[in-house]
Amino acid sequence: MLPRDRVLAAFRHQAPDRVPINYGANPGIDQRLKRFYGLDLDDSEGLARELGVDFRHVDAPYVGPRLHEEPEDEDVQVSPDWGLRTRRMLHASGCYWEPWPGRLHKLDEESAALYPMPSPDDYDYDAVTEGCERHDGYAISAQSGFEVMNWTGRHVGDQEMYMGLATADPGILLFIRRYVEIKFEVLKRTILAAKGKLTFLRIGEDLGTQRGPRISMDMFRKQIRPIHEHFIQLAKEHNLPVMIHSCGSCSWAFNELIDMGITAVDTLQPEAADMDPAYLKREYGDFLAFHGCISTAGPVVFGSPQETVEYCRGTLKIMMPKGGYCFAPTHQLQDNTPTQNAVVMYETARDFGVY
């Protein structure tokens, strides 16, 4: 089967020739895998082919003017279009660029209205067309490019984000409304530029901590669901399935996602509350396809290669029956992942994931 057809079969709860495979990794383990396979460090396509990855992604890169200042601190980055700030955080295996909320504390309506945001005209949609042509035959996705809670929190801080949603703060809601309108228009133009070659759309909303919901069901229905339904409707107009990304314990919202028209859910962290693979497959496997479920905080990181193989085989045995499963790490492989464990993880998916 072509990768595109393999993924669509899984989304339809049909058994393809083998389980679809996806990949995501932080820079340290990504570079080690490329060295293992004898690839150049910038050859991401070569690595995807070595691992048997069925998915590809396209987006329209920003090509407009810098709207936000260059940081003076070399350990801080500021995106030119949205002003998203990240700071270099060192750890034992390397570093992360972590969100670092900037100047938008105490956001009111005036500052929300004046905050510089990009024009949808300032994105390169030709790159979408070219990417779709280059990846023809693969399962190609485009994405909305934000999560209401994370995106807002990264600008104003999580405390102000939570309080703003809870109190329907006018400044916070105006800020959200402005960026949602821009993101929607960019995605709409991206879909048109793809010229019918997209396979599905991605949206995102981290709905859970490791222990339970981040917000109440009432707040989800009032502040989060209507925004995502707007994007889901756009997908329906173009006959595109929708996959939603959510870290943490998110099964509490699965019935809402099903009602909204979501096709598949990512990342399925099995160590989080109410996210056990057997439970998810039993309770929701007839209604949702699953993408992820291979923990990046378990045997793949802390076990031996043989333990990694057994763990991946166990997950496949649970999730594969009747289709509806795409093999992938929960979010991204971490830099403390042993190279050999990552290699056998994907070997197991290719060998044991055959129907």
Contact 308, 345 (CB under 8 A): yes
Is the per-residue pLDDT at 93 higher than 90?
no
Q: Which helix (H) or strand (E) holds 86?
A: strand 85-91
Whole-angstrom distance, CA of residue 225 vs CA of residue 256: 8
Is the per-residue pLDDT at 45 higher than 90?
yes
Whole-angstrom distance, CA of residue 88 vs CA of residue 80: 17
Residue 227 neighbours by CB under 8 Å, 6+ apart? 148, 176, 180
Quickly count: other Cβ atoms within 10 Å of residue 133's Cβ: 12
Whole-angstrom distance, CA of residue 269 vs CA of residue 247: 7
pLDDT digits (tens, 9 = 90+) for 137-172: 999 999 999 999 999 999 999 999 999 999 999 999
pLDDT digits (tens, 9 = 90+) for 47-86: 999 999 999 999 999 999 999 999 989 999 999 999 999 9
Which of 329, 252, 260 has the alpha carbon at shortest distance from 284?
Answer: 252
CATH T-level assignment (fold) for domain 3-352: TIM Barrel (3.20.20)
Is the per-residue pLDDT at 136 higher than 80?
yes
Contact 146, 179 (CB under 8 A): yes
Is the per-residue pLDDT at 33 higher than 90?
yes
**Predicted structure pTM score:** 0.97
Domain residue ranges in the chain: 3-352
Q: What does the buried/exposed string (b/e) look like for 264-279 if buried means 16 or more CB atoms within 10 Å of the residue's CB?
A: bbbbbbbebbbbbbee
pLDDT digits (tens, 9 = 90+) for 261-302: 999 999 999 999 999 999 999 999 999 999 999 999 999 999
DSSP output for 53-72: --EEE----B-S---SPPPS
Confidence of residue 8 (pLDDT cuts 50, 70, 90): very high
